[in-house]
């Protein structure tokens, strides 16, 4: 397992745009961390530092206490796997099985091990039956799951997901949530960038809110989505979930599920037929 | 002997003045020198040592370097430089979209204009896409910084998504355009018109007339 630490990390793009300023972050093995913030707040830039795709212009990045400044991306990829937002920027193989075996093969697994790791990952995301399909015959949401499987198959101690729920329907989101829970259950770290606050509140144990390249909030969802922080969230164009806003009025705490809100309303005598308002888990 | 240099040299002088005005002097001179260098080397070698002449400047083995050869090479070089400067100035100071839109205004078919603009605009998009794909594959452990063999092995994962993504983009863009009545026949109104002042039109006519006169003079042996 790998612990990650960013110490005073700052980053300025070659065109002079400052994307990160003095970011201090420590992520322990097994944590589930969501990174949220408006577009351009530095989320993607931040995670690209975790596997060396970007190198800090100030500060340093450490894996297990070791500065990774001199390490190649191809070496760091064995520790930190990143699933990018657009699957079409990644998929190249003519068959799903070859796409998922690519990463493990690069990491030095045998053909048999790579095939097995690929099959396991496809099973985890619900694509096992598509193993012989052409990736481009799959719809966008399934290609996104394939991209997730192809990195999952690498078995990296840290898994980073960039907007994993974009383009997913409720079933796809539930699948992603299950994958995250399964990965975390093995002691591996999951980090996700997301604009989907409901997904964030329900899935992650820690939320890091960013704005203008800085960490604005860092804590468990109950702390980050608590009513006193709403102005800070608003400053980075985020708003708590509908359930959180209503739940705050109903004293349900900062991260209630929508079903909790319905149940509370029913308890308080609202004119709601509970049989007709059962929401999916 | 100097007559052969006057025309190209005048063109070079005008191009350099225009390049200064356009703020592209350094770029255009560098690009022109780089473009003409390989041709210039071969022209100098072939002309100086193989062109027949009466004034031998030096001998290297069986080859004579003649004054006539040097003169021919010199004239060829200034012409090449004039041509490359002219093309370079055009490329560096003309917005490709403006060019294509103006051609469409003058009767170029919208389909041809679209193909031209799409091709021009595809370049930065491809560069951006290639960069993201590179990051994506490196994040899966692909070594793009190692030996030549390792880089060659990584070619397909890098090139594949670029090509597939480009094809998909073209298809999606075509569908989006069709859904906005792109291929509707008939006259269309362009929302943009290129600024074209009277002195610019006068200069264009003058340049066109000069070109015709130069061709006539050349044909009739007066130039």
Contact between chains at A150 and B140 (C-beta distance less than 8 A): yes
Give chain A's radius of gyration (CA, Å): 20
pLDDT at A189: 96
pLDDT at B161: 86
Quick one: A280 exposed, middle or buried, by C-beta within 10 A (0-12, 13-18, 19+)? exposed
pTM: 0.72
Residue A98 lies in a domain: no
Q: Note whether A62 and A3 are same-domain residues.
A: yes
pLDDT tens per residue across span B109-139: 877 887 777 777 777 788 888 888 888 888 8
A137 vs A147: CA distance, rounded Å: 14
How many CB pairs below 8 Å do chains A and B form together?
Answer: 74
**Which two three-digit tokens encode residue A253?**
């705490």
Q: What is the 3-state secondary structure (H, E, C) of B154-184?
A: CHHHHHHHHHHHHHHHHHHHHHHHHCCCCCC
A191 vs A210: CA distance, rounded Å: 14
Give the residue from B129, B140, B150, B151 with the most A CB atoms within 10 Å of its CB, the best one to mutate.
Answer: B140
Residue A276 lies in a domain: yes
- Does ipTM come in above 0.90? no
- Matching residue, tokens 């060019």: B99
Chain B residues with CB-CB distance to A74 below 8 A: 138, 141-146
Residue A155 lies in a domain: no
CA angle A124/A129/A131 to nearest 5° reads 85
Mean pLDDT, chain A, rounded, equals 91
pLDDT at A209: 95
Q: Note whether A59 and A21 are same-domain residues.
A: yes
Task: Work out the percent of chain A whose per-residue pLDDT is above 90.
Answer: 70
Least CB–CB distance from B142: residue in A74, A88, A136: A74
The DSSP 8-state label assigned to residue A92 in this structure reads -
pLDDT at B1: 58
pLDDT at A276: 62
Residue A124 lies in a domain: no
**Which two three-digit tokens encode residue B38?**
């390989």
pLDDT at A259: 81
Is A51 an 8 Å CB contact of chain B? yes
Is A91 an 8 Å CB contact of chain B? yes
Averaged pLDDT for residues A89-97: 91
Least CB–CB distance from B157: residue in A78, A80, A102: A102
Q: Note whether A68 and A9 are same-domain residues.
A: yes
pLDDT tens per residue across span A116-132: 999 999 999 999 999 99
Contact between chains at B161 and A91 (C-beta distance less than 8 A): yes
Mean pLDDT, chain B, rounded, equals 84
Residue A175 lies in a domain: no
Total of domains in chain A: 2
CATH number at residue A50: 3.40.50.300
pLDDT at A78: 92
pLDDT tens per residue across span A171-225: 999 999 999 999 999 999 999 999 999 899 989 999 999 999 999 999 998 889 8
Residue A183 lies in a domain: no
Contact between chains at B135 and A72 (C-beta distance less than 8 A): no
Is A199 an 8 Å CB contact of chain B? no
pLDDT bin (cut points 50, 70, 90) of residue A165 is very high
Q: Note whether A196 and A252 are same-domain residues.
A: no
Check whether A275 has a pLDDT greater than 70: no
Q: Note whether A198 and A215 are same-domain residues.
A: yes
Residue A102 lies in a domain: no
Check whether A5 has a pLDDT greater than 90: yes
Is A241 an 8 Å CB contact of chain B? no
Chain A residues with CB-CB distance to B141 below 8 A: 74, 77-78, 103, 106-107, 154
Q: Note whether A276 and A204 are same-domain residues.
A: no
pLDDT tens per residue across span A31-85: 999 999 999 999 999 999 999 999 999 999 999 999 999 898 988 999 999 999 9
Residue A113 lies in a domain: no
Query: Which residues make beta-bridge pairs with A4?
Result: A27, A63
- Matching residue, tokens 């002097």: B25
pLDDT tens per residue across span B163-174: 888 888 878 887
Mind telling me how many Å the CA of B96 is from chain A's nearest CA? 24
Q: Provide the residue range defining the domain that includes A249.
A: 241-281
pLDDT tens per residue across span B23-45: 999 999 998 888 888 888 888 88
Contact between chains at A84 and B139 (C-beta distance less than 8 A): yes
CB A135 within 8 A of CB A127: no
Q: Note whether A247 and A217 are same-domain residues.
A: no
Q: Note whether A75 and A3 are same-domain residues.
A: yes
pLDDT at B4: 78
pLDDT at A272: 66
pLDDT at A84: 93
């Amino acid at each position: 397992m790998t612990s990650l630490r960013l110490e005073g990390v700052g980053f300025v793009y070659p065109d002079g745009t400052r994307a990160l300023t003095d970011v201090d972050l420590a992520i322990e093995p097994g944590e589930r961390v969501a990174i949220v913030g408006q577009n351009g707040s530095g989320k993607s830039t931040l995670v690209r530092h975790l596997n060396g795709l970007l190198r800090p212009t100030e500060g340093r990045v450490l894996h297990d206490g070791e500065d990774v400044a001199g390490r190649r991306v191809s070496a760091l990829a064995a520790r930190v796997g990143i699933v990018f937002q657009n699957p079409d920027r990644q998929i190249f193989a003519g068959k799903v099985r070859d796409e998922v075996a690519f990463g493990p093969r690069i990491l030095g697994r045998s053909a048999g091990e790579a095939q097995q790791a690929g099959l396991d990952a496809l099973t985890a995301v619900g694509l096992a039956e598509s193993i012989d399909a052409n990736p481009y015959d799959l719809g966008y949401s399934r290609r996104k799951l394939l991209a997730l499987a192809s990195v999952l198959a690498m078995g990296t101690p840290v898994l980073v997901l960039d907007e994993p729920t974009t383009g997913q329907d409720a079933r796809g989101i539930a699948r992603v949530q299950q994958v995250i829970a399964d990965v975390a259950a093995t002691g591996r770290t999951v980090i996700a960038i997301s604009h989907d606050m409901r997904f964030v509140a329900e899935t992650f144990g820690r939320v890091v809110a960013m704005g203008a390249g800085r960490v604005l909030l860092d804590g468990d969802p109950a702390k980050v989505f608590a009513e006193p922080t709403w102005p800070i969230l608003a400053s980075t164009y985020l708003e708590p979930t509908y359930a959180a806003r209503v739940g705050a009025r109903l004293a349900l705490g900062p991260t209630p599920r929508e079903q909790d809100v319905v149940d509370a309303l029913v308890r308080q005598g609202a004119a709601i037929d509970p049989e007709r308002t059962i929401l999916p888990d | 002997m100097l007559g052969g240099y006057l025309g190209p040299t005048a063109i070079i002088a005008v191009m350099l003045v225009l390049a200064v005005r356009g703020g592209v002097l350094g770029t255009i001179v560098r690009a022109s020198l780089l473009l003409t260098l390989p041709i210039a080397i071969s022209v100098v070698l072939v002309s100086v040592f193989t062109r027949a002449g009466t004034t031998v400047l030096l001998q290297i083995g069986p080859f004579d370097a003649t004054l006539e050869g040097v003169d021919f090479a010199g004239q060829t070089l200034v012409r090449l430089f004039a041509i490359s400067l002219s093309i370079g100035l055009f490329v560096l100071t003309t917005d490709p979209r403006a060019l294509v839109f103006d051609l469409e205004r003058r009767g170029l078919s919208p389909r041809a204009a679209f193909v031209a603009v799409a091709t021009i605009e595809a370049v930065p998009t491809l560069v951006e896409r290639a960069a993201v794909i590179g990051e994506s594959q490196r994040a899966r452990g692909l070594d793009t910084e190692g030996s030549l063999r390792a880089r060659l092995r990584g070619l397909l994962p890098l090139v594949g998504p670029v090509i597939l993504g480009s094809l998909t983009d073209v298809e999606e863009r075509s569908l989006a355009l069709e859904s906005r009545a792109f291929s509707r026949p008939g006259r269309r109104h362009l929302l943009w018109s290129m600024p074209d002042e009277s002195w610019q039109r006068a200069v264009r006519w003058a340049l066109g007339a000069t070109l015709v006169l130069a061709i006539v003079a050349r044909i009739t042996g007066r130039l």
